[in-house]
Each structure stands twice: as structure tokens, then as C-alpha cells.
Amino acid sequence: MSFAQTALLGALAGFTIYLGLPLGRATRVDDRLRVALAMLSVGILAFIFMDVTHAGMDIVETSLLGAKDHHGSVGRLVLLFALLAAGFTAGTAGIASVERRLRRRRPPPPIAGGEAAALTLPEQLATARVGALRTGMTVAAAIGLHNFAEGLAIGVSASAGEIALATVLIVGFALHNATEGFGIIGPLGSTRPSWRWLGLVGLIGGAPTFVGAMIGYQVDSDALELCFYALAGGAILYVIGEVWTAMRRYGHRTLGLYALSAGFLLGLATDLVVAYGGG
């Protein structure tokens, strides 16, 4: 498979994320549907978290076995674990720190009448909208990190001449990425994003598959792959906590748990295509 073909098919695998995004423009969404969509996205993200954590640990464990059998160095093992720890911490505490700083940049409300009384209803709605869109953007970035690592796998397989495996990976990731659009719009709640915003988050979440495929075709680096798995895992865990907390105020806990289970199983089902091909 040539570099051009790999890049083209990597783009196809990544941009199927746009299939689920238009649902974010739907109007008249009641609380039950809002909770179901959000918790469906949490289930998908929970699967992705499990997937990236397993993939990252596989890289570290391979190095561990190599050091144990005297085929690798302990120094490399320590380096990989340090990359895993740094990436995961940056994805959780790092994002939380950035969020806190962004909130501090907002101008404080007038003191008279208290903070709650100082904000009018339009201002409260605007604040909630900004928060929801920022959470959706964070989800897209976390998914993008995950998809970059998937793109690396496509590129490496194509470069090695494993055409059948590369093809199955592309098909499998295309199906899997189609569900990730729901993961981005789920946390938005009642916020209705613009088409421009949907286009941007689709690019942030989907384009890394295309970029990763091009880089993986030319560079095979376990350390690079591990960095993106660790960052994605940390970011996804942070986002799951944020969405879960935001949805508690709507109630419908049992419905939410059913939707979470459905999202997890949906992610698992689409991933079986990749597993069937040996990926």
C-alpha cells in the first residue's frame, strides 16, 4: 500500500466522526433524552479509556519482559513508565489546572447583591453554554489523541506491507470513530452548537487519525505511541468525571446507567472488527 493510499484511507477512517455530530443540532430535547445521550457518550468514553490504557500497558509490559529476559534495558523500561505517568497526569490534573485558569480569567460579577443575584438569566445561560462547549471541545481533544495512536497503527501496518491487516484496521477504526461523534455532543446538554463548532471539533477529533497514519507509515516509535495513549487516557478519565457530575442534576439515574452500558457495549462491538483482523 502506497503512502498516498494510506493517507487517503486514514483520512476516511478519521472523518467518519462527522456522522454522529449533526445530532448536536437537534432541538426540543427533553431531560431524559439529554441524560441518555450524555451517558451513552460516557459509556463510549469508558470503553476508549479501557482500550488506550490496555494498549499503553502492553507497550510497558513488553519492555518489562524484554528487561527480564535480558533483551532490553531497565533504563528503557523506566523511561517508558515515566512517559506513561507524565502523560496520564498531564491528561487529568493538567487539564483541570487549565480549566481552573480559564475560569479565573472571566471578569468577576459585581459584589452588591451577591454573585448569584449579580448574574442575569441571559448571563447564566451564556456561562453554561461556554462551559458545555468547552467540555465538548475537551472530549474532542481527548478522542483526537486516541485517534492519533490508532492512525499510527494503520500507518505502521501499511508500511510493513501487511495490507490485509491495514485494511481491516481502517474499516474497524472508521466504524469505531463513527460512534465518537456521540461522545462529543453528549456532554453539551441543552446547548445547541453552531455548524462551525461541529466542524471544528470533528477536525480536532478525526484529523489525528489521518496525521497518525502518515507519521506511522514513516516512523515506528513505541515511546511516541505511549505518550498519546497516556495523554488520551488521562484526558478521557477527566472528561468522564465532568460529564457524570453535570448529568446528576437532571436525575434519571437508572436510565443513565442503561445508556452508559449501551455506550460501552457499542464501543466494544465496533472494536471487535479490529480484533477480528488481528489488530
Per-residue pLDDT of the chain (279 residues; tens, 9 = 90+): 678 877 787 787 788 888 878 877 776 667 787 778 778 878 887 887 888 788 888 889 988 988 888 777 888 889 999 988 998 898 788 877 766 665 565 544 444 444 444 556 676 677 777 878 888 888 888 788 778 877 777 777 677 665 665 666 666 667 667 777 777 877 776 778 889 999 999 999 888 888 888 887 887 778 887 887 887 788 778 878 877 776 777 778 888 899 899 988 988 887 776 666 555
Got the DSSP string for 79-124? HHHHHHHHHHHIIIIIHHHHHHHHHHTSPPPPSTTHHHHHS-HHHH
Taking the C-alpha atoms of residue 161 and residue 269, their distance in angstroms, rounded to an integer, is 27
Cell numbers representing residue 265 in the block? 457495549
Taking the C-alpha atoms of residue 204 and residue 221, their distance in angstroms, rounded to an integer, is 22
Residue closest to 201 by CA, chosen among 53, 52, 20: 20
Residues 6+ apart with CB under 8 A from 34: 189, 190, 250
Extents of the domains making up the chain = 3-276
87-106 burial, b if ≥16 CB within 10 A, otherwise e?
Answer: bbebbbebbeeebeeeeeee
Q: Give the HSE-up count for residue 59: Cα atoms under 13 Å, Cβ half-sphere.
A: 26
Residue closest to 41 by CA, chosen among 269, 261, 209: 261
State phi, psi for 105 to the nearest 5 degrees: -75, -15
Residue closest to 15 by CA, chosen among 266, 210, 268: 210
